[in-house]
C-alpha cells in the first residue's frame, strides 16, 4: 500500500535529515521538498566559516544521493490551505499533502537602526550571501560587524584570516551571552583581540551613512559621535523563526511554531522541525534551538513519526563554533543555569576551559573552549550527564579526572 504523500516546506538541514530518514526507513509514499533557496540542501554551518575563508569552495551538500532534483523543487510556499490539505506556491501551484512538515528555519533580525538595512550592510544566512561577502573581504578592507554572537564572531575571525581589518560592535556588556557564561566568552574575546580584532562591548551603532570621503564606502556612527569608516557592515544580531506561513494558517505560534514531543503542531497533519519549531516538553517547558545538530535530530525524529514509530523527541541540544584556532562547544540549556562550576584554566587552552551550568543540583548545560578539538570529549560527556538528569557534585564536575560520560552511566 502506498504511504502518505509528504510535503516539506524548507530545504535546509532539518528537511534534508527528514527526507534521508524517510528514505532509509522505507517510506512508500511520495516526498516533495519545496525549497525557497533554489538549490538542494547544504551544510549551512560552512557559510560563516570555510565559505568565507575559502577553505571550502562550495557548501557541502547534504545526502545528495537522496535529495535529488526530482525530490527538491525550487518554490516559495506562500500559503497553507488546511481545509483542502494543500500548499500554494508563489507560482500558484497547489500541491496536496497527507503530511506537511514545516522546516522553514529562521531569518536574520535587523535592529531598527538607520542604515543597517541599507546598501552598505548585509546579513548572512545562506551560501549566496557568503559568496558576496567573501568578495568584499579583501586584504585591507574594513569590515564592521554588528553583533558579537556566534555568527558575528565567526565572520570576524574569517575576515581577519583574509587580511581585512575588523571592528565588532556589541550592544550588550558581554559577548556570546546567549550561549556562554562570561568566564568562557572572555577567553574567546581575548583570542580575537590578540588577532587584532577590535571588539567593543556596550557599543551599539547609532547609524550607518554613506561616506562623503574616499576613506571607505560607509561610516558607522556611534552614540558618542565616533565615526568608523567601513567598506562593509555585516549585521549579525540574531534570528527570528520563519513562522509567517504557520501563523497565517492559524497554527499555534509563540516565537516558533509550537509542537508537542512528537513534533506535531496544533494540526495533527502538520509537523514542524528545525530552527522554526518550539518543542513543548512533558513538564510544560518549551525550547527552540538555533543549531545544526538539533535540526538534524528533529528531521530524523519526524521521519520515524511519519513511518509509524512515534516516540517522544527528547534531545539535549549540542552545538559548536570554530573561531580562529579555537573550538567552542555548548550542550544543554545555558539559559537555565543558575550557577556555573569551572574546570580547567584559560592559561591552558590545549586542555580547555569548561563551565558547567547547574540548576537545583542538576547539570543543565556544559560549555567549553579549547585550542583544537579537545573540548569535544568533555562537552559530549557532559551532554550525556545532562540527559541522565542525575544530581551532580560540584567537586566531581571541577575535577579533570572525572569521566562525565561514565558518571552519566553509573550515577
Ligand atoms: C552562517 C551560519 C553559521 C552557522 N553555524 C553553525 C555552527 O557552527 N554550529 C551549529 O550548531 N549551528 C550553526 N548554525 C545554525 C544552523 O545552520 C541552523 O540551526 C540550521 O541550518 C537550521 O536548519 P533548518 O533546516 O531548521 O533551517 P534553515 O537552515 O534556515 O533552512 C530553512 C530553509 O527553508 C527555506 N524557506 C523558508 N521559508 C520558505 C518558504 N515559505 N517556502 C520555501 N522555502 C522556504 C529557506 O530559504 C531555507 O533554505 C549556523 C547558521 C548560520 C546562518
Half-sphere exposure of 206 (CA within 13 A, CB side): 8
| C-alpha torsion 144→150→156→159, nearest 10 | -120
List the residue whose alpha carbon is closest to atom 50 of ligand 1: 45
> Does the Cβ of 288 fall within 6 Å of ligand 1?
no
| pLDDT score, position 411 | 75
6-105+242-307 shares its CATH topology with 109-238: yes
List the residue whose alpha carbon is closest to atom 2 of ligand 1: 45
Assigned C-alpha cell, 117 = 538595512
| pLDDT score, position 139 | 95
List the residue whose alpha carbon is closest to atom 44 of ligand 1: 36
| pLDDT score, position 214 | 61
Structural domain spans, the chain: 6-105+242-307, 109-238, 325-408
> Does the Cβ of 235 fall within 6 Å of ligand 1?
no
CATH of 6-105+242-307 among 3.50.50.60, 3.10.180.10, 3.40.640.10, 3.20.130.10 = 3.50.50.60
> Does the Cβ of 9 fall within 6 Å of ligand 1?
yes
Ligand 1 centroid – CA 13 distance (Å) = 7
> Does the Cβ of 43 fall within 6 Å of ligand 1?
no
pTM confidence score:
0.96
> Does the Cβ of 291 fall within 6 Å of ligand 1?
yes
Evaluate whether 103 touches 18 at the Cβ level (below 8 Å): yes
List the residue whose alpha carbon is closest to atom 37 of ligand 1: 104
| pLDDT score, position 215 | 60
Superfamily the domain 109-238 falls into: FAD/NAD(P)-binding domain (3.50.50.60)
> Does the Cβ of 245 fall within 6 Å of ligand 1?
yes
Ligand 1 centroid – CA 238 distance (Å) = 13
11, 16, 77: residue to mutate for ligand 1 pocket, most atoms within 8 A of CB: 11
User: Rounded to an integer, what distance in angstroms lies between the CA atom of residue 17 and that of residue 21?
Assistant: 6
Where the chain has pLDDT below 70, the residues are 1, 214-216
| pLDDT score, position 307 | 96
- Bridge partners, 91 (sequence order): none
Ligand 1 centroid – CA 140 distance (Å) = 31
User: Rounded to an integer, what distance in angstroms lies between the CA atom of residue 240 and that of residue 266?
Assistant: 20
> Does the Cβ of 152 fall within 6 Å of ligand 1?
no
- Bridge partners, 230 (sequence order): 218
Evaluate whether 94 touches 87 at the Cβ level (below 8 Å): yes
Tens digits of residue pLDDT in 334-381: 999 999 999 999 999 999 999 999 999 999 999 999 998 889 999 999
Superfamily the domain 325-408 falls into: FAD/NAD-linked reductase, C-terminal dimerisation domain (3.30.390.30)
Amino acid at each position: 500500500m502506498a504511504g502518505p504523500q509528504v510535503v516539506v516546506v524548507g530545504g535546509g538541514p532539518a528537511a534534508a535529515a527528514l527526507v534521508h530518514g524517510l528514505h532509509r526507513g522505507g517510506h512508500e509514499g511520495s516526498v516533495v521538498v519545496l525549497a525557497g533557496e533554489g538549490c538542494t540542501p547544504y551544510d549551512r554551518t560552512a557559510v560563516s566559516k570555510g565559505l568565507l575563508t575559502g577553505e571550502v569552495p562550495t557548501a557541502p551538500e547534504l545526502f545528495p544521493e537522496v535529495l535529488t532534483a526530482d525530490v527538491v523543487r525550487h518554490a516559495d510556499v506562500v500559503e497553507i490551505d488546511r481545509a483542502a490539505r494543500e500548499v500554494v506556491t508563489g507560482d500558484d501551484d497547489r500541491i496536496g499533502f497527507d503530511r506537511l512538515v514545516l522546516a522553514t528555519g529562521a531569518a536574520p533580525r535587523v535592529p531598527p537602526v538607520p542604515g543597517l538595512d541599507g546598501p552598505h550592510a548585509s546579513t548572512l544566512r545562506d551560501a549566496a550571501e557568503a559568496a558576496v561577502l567573501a568578495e568584499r573581504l579583501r586584504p585591507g578592507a574594513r569590515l564592521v560587524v554588528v553583533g558579537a554572537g556566534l555568527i558575528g564572531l565567526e565572520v570576524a575571525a574569517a575576515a581577519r584570516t583574509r587580511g581585512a581589518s575588523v571592528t565588532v560592535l556589541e550592544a550588550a556588556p558581554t559577548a556570546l551571552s546567549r550561549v556562554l557564561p562570561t568566564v568562557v566568552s572572555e577567553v574567546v574575546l581575548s583570542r580575537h583581540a590578540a588577532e587584532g580584532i577590535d571588539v567593543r562591548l556596550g557599543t551599539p551603532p547609532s547609524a550607518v551613512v554613506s561616506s562623503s570621503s574616499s576613506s571607505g564606502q560607509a561610516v558607522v556612527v556611534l552614540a558618542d559621535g565616533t565615526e568608523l569608516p567601513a567598506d562593509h557592515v555585516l549585521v549579525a544580531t540574531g534570528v527570528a523563526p520563519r513562522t509567517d506561513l504557520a501563523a497565517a494558517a492559524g497554527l499555534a505560534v509563540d516565537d516558533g511554531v509550537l509542537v508537542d514531543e512528537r513534533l506535531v503542531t496544533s494540526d495533527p497533519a502538520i509537523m514542524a522541525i528545525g530552527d522554526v519549531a518550539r518543542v513543548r516538553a512533558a513538564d510544560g517547558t518549551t525550547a527552540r534551538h538555533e543549531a545544526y545538530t538539533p535540526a538534524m535530530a528533529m528531521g530524523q525524529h519526524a521521519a520515524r513519526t511519519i513511518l509509524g514509530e512515534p516516540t517522544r523527541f527528547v534531545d539535549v541540544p549540542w552545538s559548536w563554533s570554530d573561531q580562529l584556532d579555537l573550538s567552542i562547544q555548548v550542550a544543554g540549556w545555558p539559559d537555565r543555569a543558575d550557577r556555573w562550576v569551572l574546570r580547567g584554566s584559560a592559561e591552558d587552552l590545549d586542555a580547555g576551559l569548561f563551565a558547567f551550568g547547574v540548576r537545583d543540583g542538576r547539570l543543565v548545560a556544559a560549555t567549553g573552549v579549547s585550542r583544537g578539538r579537545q573540548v569535544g570529549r568533555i562537552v559530549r560527556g557532559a551532554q550525556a550527564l545532562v540527559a541522565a538528569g542525575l544530581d551532580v557534585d560540584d567537586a566531581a564536575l571541577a575535577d579533570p579526572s572525572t569521566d562525565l560520560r561514565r558518571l552519566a552511566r553509573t550515577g
